[in-house]
Amino acid sequence: MSDNREYVMEPGRRIPVYKRVGVLVCGSGSGGLSSAVCAARNGADTLLIERQSFLGGESTAAFQNWFGGPTDILTGFSAEWAKKNWTNGEPQTAGSI
Q: Note the pLDDT tens digit of each residue in 13-72.
A: 888 998 999 999 999 888 898 899 999 999 999 999 999 888 877 777 766 655 555 556
Whether residue 1 is contained in a domain is answered as no
60 and 54 in contact (C-beta within 8 Å)? yes
Three-state DSSP state, 37? helix
Three-state DSSP state, 31? helix
Whether residue 10 is contained in a domain is answered as no
Rounded Cα distance between 41 and 48, Å, is 13
Residue 66 structural domain: 23-89
Question: From residue 43, how far is each of 17, 31, 40, 76, 95 by CA, in Å?
Answer: 22, 19, 5, 19, 37
Model pLDDT, residue 77: 73
Whether residue 29 is contained in a domain is answered as yes
The pTM of this model reads 0.59
Whether residue 40 is contained in a domain is answered as yes
Rounded Cα distance between 6 and 63, Å, is 42
Whether residue 94 is contained in a domain is answered as no
Q: What's the total number of domains in the chain?
A: 1
